[in-house]
């Protein structure tokens, strides 16, 4: 394992731990306070809106300083501030969700700007594949054991102290940042990133539209998995068991999956696993049905997403670093912007089930569209023209 790959995986592990707390237990915390799932959706929308702002700032800093060094420091500051706020300030209204969203958006925006560019510049396609293999292994292991450890922390210490522990653990980012070499990146003087993106987008619309179509599908699926889990139980141990079950079933499925299964067929199978099972909810909404549909969602999205993720990095790997920087900058705008719009739409119409179902149909069609656009990209690889 090269030093670059090891460096990425260390911070990625810390991120996965924090993300689990954010996606499962922080959402449960807000739901228990407000008693309305729309506030969970609203917080998540704020989180991605501020991720856009801070990823813009982070990419601009990388371009100006010609180095990744320092950006993880700001990611750490954002995460620590968010969890310290939760530890010491009672959450009573929407403004509290905004303040937490600012901190977590700062954590997310600065983090992914560094990791995306580092992954793109790994040595060769095999190392990119190795990265996703190791990352998935870490994520799966934590997905099984992590929720129980966090539930134990909440049971023993309460939410306030658990928030404080998670926030302080992010200080390890600072240690890693001090050990990161000050890379001199090949970024010559050039116009601002927004200006370059406006010039680049018309030349490569397929790449950016594929990102938007994929993330609409992803975000709709992700918010329903959270909703189904909280609908089944609001107990910390119950949620830990549900999420560990997802991880275990997915691990068994991966072991049984043929190693040489056609990638395109995997993606289509994943899309149908998300399209068909929710129809059962029109007949039965028992806890077992909700759990079964969630399992189909988790497996379906895995089959669809792993191929998509690896391919999109491979397409831009051979471009000059400055072009990679612009592509990643535009990708973050497309991903987080689409996420925020999707969530704000769901927040507005959550009480109307037919609108939510129609949104689901659009999301699945977007998944098929992203597959078609990805095929076009593989037929016509990106260039720097």
% helix, strand, coil for the chain, step of 5: 85, 0, 15
Q: Which two structure tokens, joined as six digits, stand for 239? A: 């949620």
Residue with tokens 């707390």: 21
**Could you list the pLDDT tens digit for every one of the 385 residues in the chain?**
566 667 777 778 888 888 888 888 888 889 989 988 899 999 999 999 999 899 888 888 887 777 777 788 888 889 889 989 998 988 989 999 999 999 999 999 988 888 877 776 665 556 666 676 677 677 777 877 888 888 888 888 888 888 888 887 787 777 776 766 566 565 555 666 776 777 777 777 777 788 788 788 778 878 888 888 888 888 888 888 888 888 788 777 777 766 555 666 777 777 777 777 667 766 777 888 888 888 888 888 777 776 676 666 666 766 777 777 777 778 888 888 888 888 888 888 887 777 777 777 787 788 788 877 777 766 665 555 4
Q: Which two structure tokens, joined as six digits, stand for 214? A: 């994929």
Domains of the chain with bracketed CATH: 3-180+192-379 (1.20.1250.20)
Q: Which two structure tokens, joined as six digits, stand for 366? A: 């977007």
Q: How confident is the model at residue 17, as a pLDDT?
A: 82
Q: How far apart are CA 213 and CA 375, in angstroms?
A: 13
Instruction: Please report how many Cα atoms fall inside a 13 Å half-sphere around the Cα of residue 38, on the Cβ side.
Output: 13
* Predicted TM-score of the model (pTM): 0.83
């Amino acid at each position: 394992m090269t030093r670059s790959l090891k460096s990425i995986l260390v911070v990625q592990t810390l991120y996965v731990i924090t993300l689990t707390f954010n996606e499962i237990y922080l959402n449960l915390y807000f739901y228990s306070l407000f008693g309305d799932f729309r506030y969970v959706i609203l917080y998540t929308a704020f989180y991605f809106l501020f991720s856009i702002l801070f990823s813009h700032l982070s990419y601009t800093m990388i371009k100006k300083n010609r180095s990744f060094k320092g950006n993880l420091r700001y990611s750490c500051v954002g995460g620590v501030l968010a969890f310290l706020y939760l530890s010491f300030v009672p959450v009573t209204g929407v403004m509290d969700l905004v303040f937490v969203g600012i901190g977590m958006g700062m954590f997310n925006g600065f983090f992914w700007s560094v990791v995306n560019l580092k992954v793109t510049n790994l040595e060769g396609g095999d190392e990119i594949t190795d990265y996703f293999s190791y990352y998935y292994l870490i994520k799966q292991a934590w997905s099984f054991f992590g929720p129980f450890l966090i539930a134990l922390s909440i049971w023993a210490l309460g939410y306030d102290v658990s928030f404080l522990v998670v926030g302080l653990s992010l200080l390890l980012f600072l240690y890693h940042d001090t050990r990161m070499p000050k890379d001199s990146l090949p970024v010559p003087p050039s116009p601002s990133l927004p200006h370059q993106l406006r010039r680049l987008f018309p030349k490569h619309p397929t790449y950016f539209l594929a990102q938007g179509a994929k993330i609409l599908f992803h975000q709709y699926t992700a918010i329903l998995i959270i909703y189904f889990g909280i609908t089944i139980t609001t107990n910390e141990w119950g949620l830990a068991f549900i999420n560990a079950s997802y991880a275990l079933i997915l691990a068994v499925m991966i072991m049984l999956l043929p190693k040489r299964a056609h990638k395109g067929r995997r993606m289509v199978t994943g899309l149908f696993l998300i399209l068909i099972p929710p129809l059962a909810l029109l007949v039965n909404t028992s806890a077992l049905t909700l759990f079964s549909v969630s399992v189909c969602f988790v497996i379906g999205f895995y089959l669809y997403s792993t191929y998509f993720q690896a391919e999109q990095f491979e397409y831009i790997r051979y471009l000059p670093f400055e072009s990679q920087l612009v592509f990643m900058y535009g990708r973050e705008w497309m991903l987080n912007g689409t996420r925020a719009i999707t969530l704000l739409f769901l927040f507005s119409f959550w009480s109307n089930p037919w609108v939510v179902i129609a949104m689901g149909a659009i999301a699945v069609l977007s998944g098929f569209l992203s597959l078609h656009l990805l095929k076009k990209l593989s037929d016509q690889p990106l260039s720097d023209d």
